Amino acid sequence: MRPNLGGGASSNMPLHSVTIVEHSAAWRDEFEAVAAELREALGTAALRIDHIGSTAVPALAAKDIIDVQVTVGSLDECIAEKLLAAGFSTHAQLAREDHVPPGGAAHEQDWRKFFFMQKPGARRSNIHVRELGKPNQRYPLLVLDFLRAEPRFAEAYGELKRRLASALADPDTYPEVKDPVADIIYLAAERWAAATNWQSGQAGVASEA
């Protein structure tokens, strides 16, 4: 089974509105369930599986979508084949590039990923498959630990997301507007990382089955 890296129909319709909700304690367990399915599908090819994004930050308001990062040694097509065979779905474009934050080197391979969603009928999830050691694999882990360590940033970020979601006339532009704000947090997180000698730990990694 060969993944479609260029086009094809999606089994999921895009969101027609953006809804930000209060943090739910259930999100951690729901991540664990998704992670268990991913581990079963990928085996040792998944070097680590992390709960990332706003649903992974205590008390932070978020869209009710579980963001998961699967770290792999390389973005080989066999990774995509395993996830497709296991029933995970994708948009028309499976291979994507993350946006590059200010000051980041715009090398295509540094920001490439595979993007998947939940199995049909399952709990809504965004699954980002990124390569170990690449800047886009480090970015969400650093921001996650920074927001956990600096709850005032998390509180301000949550309030911005609420206002942004309620004010946008076109909800499809939500990520485009939010990304620069996330980059501001990321740049602050880089200074924090340098000051604290931050290293990516295991705080967000799914527990072993």
Structure tokens at 63: 């869209």
Higher pLDDT, 87 or 15: 87
Q: In 3-state terms, what secondary structure has residue 152?
A: helix
Give per-residue pLDDT as tens, 138-165. 999 999 999 999 999 999 999 999 998 8
Residues 6+ apart with CB under 8 A from 23: 55, 57, 58, 59, 60, 61, 62
Beta bridge partners of 89: 117
Rounded to two decimals, the pTM is 0.86
Give per-residue pLDDT as tens, 70-79. 999 999 999 9
Instruction: Please check the confidence at residue 201 and state whether its pLDDT lies above 90.
Output: no
Give per-residue pLDDT as tens, 38-59. 999 999 999 999 999 999 999 9
pLDDT band at 190 (very low <50, low <70, confident <90, very high): very high
Q: In 3-state terms, what secondary structure has residue 57?
A: coil
Q: Does domain 26-195 have CATH number 3.30.460.10?
A: yes
Beta bridge partners of 130: 71
Boundaries of every domain in the chain: 26-195
Structure tokens at 28: 């951690």
Q: How much of the chain is helix, strand and coil, in % rounded to 5?
A: 45, 15, 40
User: To which H or E segment does residue 48 belong?
Assistant: strand 48-52
Check: CB of residue 123 under 8 Å from CB of residue 31.
no
